[in-house]
Amino acid sequence: MKNRFLPASLILLIPAFAAADASLPSNAGPEDFVAYALEHNAALAAAGARAEAGRERVPQARALPDPDLMYSYYIQRMDVRQSIGVRQSFPFPGTLPRRAAVAESEAEVRAMDTASLRRNLADEILRTYADLAYIDATLRVLGENVAVLERIERSVEARIEAGDGSGAALIRAEVARARLEDERAALEARIPALRARMNRFLGRDSHEPLPSLMPLEAAVAETNARNGNSSGRLAAHPDLEGLERAIEGRRHAAELARREGRPGFALGAEWMDTVSGKREEVMVTLGLSLPIWRERYRAGEREARAERRALEAERRDRHHLLEAELREAADLHDDALRRASLYGERLLPRGRQALEAEEAAYAGGRGDLLGVLDAQRVLLELEQARDAALADVLRARATLRRLLGDS
């Protein structure tokens, strides 16, 4: 059914919650999680219902008050035995449209609140996804490095058997491997809390398992394609638009207070049954309300104007805050991309070459174990730095998406 009170552009911002329960695919990307949450998140469903309730206030505000039906029976009969009448009250002309305008502004603010919640939800999901994907990537890297250390241990054992090694070297390699396994256990301990947080966003029980995640590189590529199509503007942020509509509502509220301080009127008709029953009397009545307590209406008008000034100041402050966030997010995004490129394209290949050279030298009896372990540790740090940079790209894009909208 077409909505008669809100512009179509605002109605589109209120989510439609599908009854069908779509499952998350395996190897799910960040957009899969966002799409699922927009259909199943409980807080978003509540906001959508509140927005719908706000729209239903508009026809209530536009309607006239119910008419009065009156019946009178004269115990001590005079010329009239009984009478029946009806009376309809009318506020001062223009009052009802102003009431409807105030209600419509409040409904639009709720629609903007829903749109803002959608953006915040996507931001939280992308950040949580970045944390989980970083842990996945780091666990993979740690597993690969544990395998490297196990290979080094075998080389040390081979040299000991050949009489060209010491037990201290083997202990060093075992300690290095134990440290990696401890780091891996610490990361695995973070997963249940992150899984519970993500499931909350998805509208699911905290213990439900999550599908396997798309690798960090693929997730960054996916969000880059989406952000590249973004046509949003900071001026169109729902927080700012919501404040703009609230300001407009206070303007209508001030005019409403002024009009409610003017007389309304009532029209009525009454039928009277006479004692003789030979004739009937019909009377038409006209009444006026007397808004004599003028300070009450003046105070209501001043209140609406003061609230409007407060909202205007709040909008300016919010715009400045969002501008600062946008500048910071853009800088962080560019820096994270630079670091990801530096580590992934330049430093990591060299780190792998250095480890291979140290291992080959040690296996050939020309190098020492400390050089091998140092090269392995440097390679691990480079891989973790590359993955951390990719996760930072995702987080920065989450902020940019919240501020500018998506395609």
DSSP 349-374: HHHHHHHHHHHHHHHTTSS-HHHHHH
Q: Which domains does the chain have, with CATH numbers?
A: 54-404 (1.20.1600.10)
| pLDDT of res. 157 | 78
| pLDDT of res. 231 | 45
| pLDDT of res. 361 | 84
- Cβ atoms of 371 and 358 closer than 8 Å: yes
191: nearest Cα among 207, 215, 177, 214: 207
| pLDDT of res. 5 | 39
Q: Give how far Cα 352 sits from Cα of 7, 228, 355, 362, 375, Å.
A: 59, 33, 5, 15, 8
| pLDDT of res. 276 | 65
Per-residue pLDDT reduced to its tens digit, 48-104: 999 999 999 999 999 999 999 998 877 776 677 788 999 999 999 999 999 999 999
Give the tokens for residue 302.
């001043």
Which strand ranges, in their side-by-side order, compose the sheet holding 80-90? Answer: 68-73, 80-90, 265-274, 280-288
DSSP 129-180: HHHHHHHHHHHHHHHHHHHHHHHHHHHHHHHHHTT---HHHHHHHHHHHHHH
Intervals of the chain under pLDDT 70: 1-22, 77-78, 162-166, 225-232, 275-279, 407
| CA 332 – CA 343 distance, rounded (Å) | 16
| pLDDT of res. 77 | 62
Cα–chain center distance at 226: 18
Task: Please tell me the pTM assigned to this model.
Answer: 0.82
